[in-house]
Structure 1
Amino acid sequence: MKPKVSVIIPTYNRLPMVQEAVESVLAQDFEDFELIVVDDGSTDGTAEVIRKYGRRVRLIEHAHNRGVSAARNTGILHSRGKYIAFLDSDDLWVKGKLRIQVNFLDENPQYLLCYTDEIWIREGKRVNPMKRHSKYSGWIFEKCLPLCIISPSSAMMRRVLFQKVGLFDEALPVCEDYDFWLRVSVRFPIFFINKKLIIKRGGHPDQLSHRSWGNDRYRIIALEKLLSEYPLKEQEREMVLSEMKKKCQILSKGFLKRGNELEGRYYQEVMRRYGIEI
């Protein structure tokens, strides 16, 4: 019999945090799930540790590091559940997370995806999220344009969603979640469950979002994809162009200030390409 939920944990050299993430899943009060850990080429002994869980955890190994998008996609393609939930290996789930989201999707077939609020931990201390990370329900495409407001660890979605919008973009080293949520939110409403059901642990040196300078470079790529690949309504297109202008101006000014004229002029050219006034 297929499980109700497939839980996918992508990981790369995250011992002992990945163990804690696994334990937070196994401690849930909802039991009809499969747990898949995708080891993305770790060299710290992750696979050996995960194998000790036996049949409670399915381990899939990449021969070499391919990035978080490829790891999530591998998990999706090997999963069997009606619903799919992700947990980044440096995050944790609060008990009840699976049960609450499964109940919501069971009772609200009009939604393909729901996500929850979160607790933030930075360098071991609880902090309050900034206002720009506020959460929203419904048609939230405009709210998703400035930055990623949905944490992958907080989301649960129906399997059919991937048939409609595709998998994660493996060409993006960061901001792959930003790209994915834009593709979802431009087509479907999203429901926010106002309960803090995940713990986001940040501030550690291997955090992906801290390792690439100027994440807006990759957000601009995601915006260009929307403009070229999606039949946007006129209002949606204007929203995308407005956000692209802000991001290109910031990057262009930043590069020129640092004496990198080639990159600075490049983002001016991106604006010209889409008829944006510089």
Structure 2
Amino acid sequence: MNSLVSIIIPCYNGQASLNSCLKSIKGSIKNLPINYSAEIIVINDGSTDLTQKILQKEKNIRVIVHNKNLGLSSARNTGIKHSKGNFLVFLDCDIDVKENWLPNMLDFFNQNNDIVGVTGNLKPLAKKHLSRLEKYLFSNYRGSKKAGITHNLKYKWFVFSNTIIKKEVIGTAGPFDKSLKKYGGEDIELSIRISKKFPNGMRQNNNALSYHHVNKSFEDYLQNVYDYGKYNFIKIIKKHPIHKKSLEYRLVSSFYTPFLFNSLTLYIAKIFLKFSKHPLLTKFFLMDSFIKGIKKSSLK
């Protein structure tokens, strides 16, 4: 019996990378085993750029348009609703995959019946100089790389930017939380629910390579992290209070926080910022924005 893979690509103002993303996933589909087929579903989540014009030129993909921007959770849920496959791929429109990415991801499910979801190995696009933000995003100071984990992923390392899961997982754990409309956390929140139902089910496949078009500035990302702290983060820890500690809420309540993050340390860090792109320095500023966002939240 053939298996169908539904590839769900949410897209908001993705004109800079959408063509490249679609070309790469179509190339990976060509390498699927003969007992697999695939459908591509793109959700235009209220884009105001040339995203829709790009999609109108594409063949053999399903395009679903949101008249306004509803957020990543709602866009992915729309894709799930219209999917027909027994496997769901979630791929952001600013990511390219290697030609063997999809076969490699599917192969993991043959290794262990407990596996219900696999996330790929995300790399920066090949270029001579990485930006300050890219040096941090792809460093060993964040995500599963920081923890040295390559199997039995904890919920907070399982992200949905280049990921495949069995569709039955959504039926059991539920879809993405559409109340998380601001930046960040929708991956973590769903992964918490998946880990409760399938405690040994999430993996990372380091051989399934994908490449990220980082189309935002360091300043934009600081604002994203601030918004995450102010909005979605507080909602998540209220919904899952048992995970409050592991989700780093202690950064706000810790005795040491005022000594580490204050006007003086921020002033000194800004001086070093002029001369260094070290990931730990970048992380300091991101943590500072995150903490400020939490403190400003009206949801506490």
TM-score category, normalised to shorter length? 0.7 to 0.9
Query: Any conservation in 2 of the 1:85–1:153 contact (CA below 8 Å)?
Result: no
Alignment of 1:199 onto 2:211: yes
Q: How many residues align?
A: 249
SS class of match (2:244): helix
TM-score normalised by length of structure 2:
0.71
Q: C-alpha separation between the residues in 2 aligned to 1:159 and 1:95?
A: 23
For 1:37, the aligned partner's letter is V
**Paired position in structure 2 for 1:51:** 56
**Paired position in structure 1 for 2:190:** 180
User: What displacement does 1:210 show?
Assistant: 4.8
- Indicate the larger mover: 193-202 or 80-89: 193-202
For 1:140, the aligned partner's letter is K
Gap regions ≥5 residues in structure 2 = 264-291
User: What displacement does 1:109 show?
Assistant: 2.6
**Paired position in structure 1 for 2:66:** 62
How do residues 240-259 of structure 1 correspond to structure 2 at under 5 angstroms? 240-241=244-245, 243=247, 245-249=249-253
Give the 3 Å change call, closer, same or farther, for CA 7–110 of structure 1 in structure 2.
same
For 2:237, the aligned partner's letter is L
Q: C-alpha separation between the residues in 2 aligned to 1:124 and 1:167?
A: 40
**Paired position in structure 1 for 2:101:** 97
SS class of match (2:175): coil
Higher RCO (CA < 8 A, seq sep 6+): 2
Alignment of 1:216 onto 2:226: no
Percent of residue pairs identical? 23
**Paired position in structure 2 for 1:152:** 160
User: What displacement does 1:3 show?
Assistant: 5.7
Give the 3 Å change call, closer, same or farther, for CA 266–203 of structure 1 in structure 2.
closer
User: What displacement does 1:36 show?
Assistant: 0.5
Q: C-alpha separation between the residues in 2 aligned to 1:265 and 1:65?
A: 24
Query: Any conservation in 2 of the 1:7–1:36 contact (CA below 8 Å)?
Result: yes
Q: C-alpha separation between the residues in 2 aligned to 1:150 and 1:167?
A: 15
For 1:200, the aligned partner's letter is H
Alignment of 1:14 onto 2:24: no
Gap regions ≥5 residues in structure 1 = 228-236, 271-278
- Indicate the larger mover: 132-141 or 80-89: 132-141
TM-score normalised by length of structure 1:
0.76
User: What displacement does 1:78 show?
Assistant: 0.3
Give the 3 Å change call, closer, same or farther, for CA 211–14 of structure 1 in structure 2.
farther
**Paired position in structure 2 for 1:35:** 40
For 1:34, the aligned partner's letter is E
